[in-house]
Amino acid sequence: MKVVSAAVVVLAALVVAPSASAQAPCRPTEFHVAPDGADRGAGGARHPWKTIEHARDQVRAKKKHQKCDIVVNVRAGDYVVGETIEFTEADSGENGHRIVYRSVDGPRKARLLGAEPLTGWEKYKGEIYRTKVDRTFYTLFEDGRRATTARFPNRRSDDVWAPYLTSVLKEPEKEAVHQWLYSRPGEWDKSWNLDNAQVTVWSGGSWSWFTDTVPIQNPSWDDNQLTLEHWTRYALVNSGGGSRYFLQNSLDFLDQPGEYFFDFAKGEVYYWPRGSIDKVVAPTVQTILSLAGSAPGKRVQNLAFDGLALQYSDFVGWYRNGWISAGDAGVPHKYPEYDRQIEMPRNRFGAVTLTNTRHIDLTRLHIADTGFTALYLLFANDHVRISDSLLENIGADGIKVEGPYPGEGDVAGHNVFTNNYIHHVGELVPGDAAGVELMNTGHNEVSHTVVRHSARYGISLEVRPEVKDGDGYAHGNVFKYLRIEEAGLDSGDMGAFYTYGVSNTDPHPITNHVSQVVIGDVIPDASMPDSGTRGVHMDAGGCGFSFADIEVGEVTDDKYQSYQCNEVTNANWADGFDASKMEYD
């Protein structure tokens, strides 16, 4: 398949009816779910059930001695998800057969919505409305479009993160602080009410690698100081340089359409609608679908979800990527440094979350407007297929695989992620965002995929540079027929294709393969203070790769940065590039 056709192929796939078991020698058992059904019914075509949860429970009871696939036909309509829909090993297909949940009326027709409308609005002031709510949430949507948490300074447009303020060094001995943010005199207004406010910051001074979103504990106006409730990942001033940041969630910042403020103490939401106040919805769940076996030896397996649309999920009130120091997790590990690489337990979720699974098919999905990662695979997952899907307007990563801690068992891999179109990732967590991020996992295929619009990466593969040979599992991966566009929009010292800590000891045998990749321009926002952007960045330990037929657009640093430990054939940063070998139109 030609790279440029990836989006077309995805969309074409979305209009082809699925075959539940094309090769099966038996006729699948079928059940039906419909928005106007009744869970007291028999689940047949004439008397469908009402909820997927009830269908799951009934199938669990009926699948003993399963002799053929079981298909749950989810009819067109909206299914509001008030609590995460959970599948365990008790819901697995048996005897080599699958259990399939499919949008029977066509892809995207059955919609699982992780949000409910907000009602009871009354005019507050000007164009701003106010309502009481009975739950807490950390993102908001109007008519299928994410609202912006009221912020200062105002963002330039809905699909960028800039502009920012920049922290300053109050005193030389306070350069290493992670909890005190200082401003220049006059940048902040002493009349602001910051009781519910947060700061979103590229901590680390000039390093533009990770973003933290942290509640503000209290301001000290006379000292031009904000004290944060939690430490940021890196210091707020580094090598004399300040960190870019903005303040958010104060009523004093609510000054334009599409912005909202949440008064957590009073349970009140204020919103200035772009259009109709009657089309505002707020998340009910962080995760819509959870597939979780109780242990690596007790996995959910032989399940498939086809053609479903999943829209809306929640974020968190405090976010930091990983622990600050090795060992901070408080759990003994062979490589405690990996604590700094992996999400903290409180942030291990996605709109679809998998852990302890095997032989799961997620096909022809449409996932949109998530609070955090769209598809999150944690620890023991293998032979998972994610294909023919559209992921858009994602809070963090599109697809994220977090394999096990190094040296503790190779239990994740052999997954296929193909024919997907992923765009606008990292909307709430621009730092470290990627269309596809693989961590300490091997023998995966990422292919025939477009990633577009990311503050940082398009595709990444990471472990840690401290990991010795044999203890890291990120080998045998294949990346082919990829197009990455608009990466590196707000960060530096990066590559649209990025690796870190994969092979850390000579002689670096070639175990990962990259071919037929087209990378567009990688140009950051003018406010970005870090070193330049690259097409391909093989960071420390980014060794043991073969590259063939790679083309990179304009960058602010090198198109390719690597140690002398990889093989390159026909790339446009080297002499003799032959464009005729690129398989695109």
The token pair that represents 509 in the structure block:
């045998």
Q: What angle do CA 434, 103, 116 make, to 5 degrees?
A: 70
Asked if 454 contacts 436 with a C-beta cutoff of 8 angstroms, the reply is: no
Asked if 430 contacts 213 with a C-beta cutoff of 8 angstroms, the reply is: no
State the CB neighbour count (10 A cutoff) for residue 516. 22
Asked if 178 contacts 247 with a C-beta cutoff of 8 angstroms, the reply is: no
Q: What is the DSSP string of 534-556?
A: EEEEE-TT--SEEEEEEEE--BS
Residue type, 192: W
Q: Is 35 in a helix, a strand, or coil?
A: coil
Q: Where are the domains of the chain?
A: 3-114+284-506, 117-280
The token pair that represents 380 in the structure block:
């023991």
Output the pLDDT for position 21: 45
Asked if 237 contacts 175 with a C-beta cutoff of 8 angstroms, the reply is: yes
SS3 labels along 160-196:
CCCCCEECCCCCHHHCCCCCEEECCCCCCCCCCCCCC
- What spatial distance separates the first Cα and last Cα of the chain, rounded to whole Å? 11
Closest residue by Cα to residue 468 from 267, 334, 371: 334
d(CA 293, CA 221): 51
The token pair that represents 282 in the structure block:
């707020």
Q: What angle do CA 391, 447, 564 make, to 5 degrees?
A: 120
Residue ranges for the chain with pLDDT beneath 70: 1-24, 585
φ, ψ dihedrals at 578, nearest 5°: -110, 100
SS3 labels along 363-383:
ECCEEECCCCEEEEEEEEEEE
Give the global pTM.
0.96
Architecture field, domain 3-114+284-506: 3 Solenoid (2.160)
The token pair that represents 512 in the structure block:
């990962």
d(CA 205, CA 209): 10
d(CA 407, CA 409): 6
d(CA 19, CA 577): 43
Beta-strand relationship, 237-238 and 241-242: antiparallel
Closest residue by Cα to residue 310 from 237, 365, 263: 365
Residues forming beta bridges with residue 304, ordered by sequence position = 100, 361
d(CA 326, CA 64): 47
The token pair that represents 177 in the structure block:
């602080």
* pLDDT tens-place string over residues 388-447: 999 999 999 999 999 999 999 999 999 999 999 999 999 999 999 999 999 999 999 999
d(CA 31, CA 46): 10
* pLDDT tens-place string over residues 64-94: 889 999 999 999 999 999 999 999 999 999 9
CA atoms within a 13 Å half-sphere pointing along the CA-CB vector of 219: 17
Asked if 269 contacts 211 with a C-beta cutoff of 8 angstroms, the reply is: no
Asked if 482 contacts 451 with a C-beta cutoff of 8 angstroms, the reply is: yes
Output the pLDDT for position 171: 87
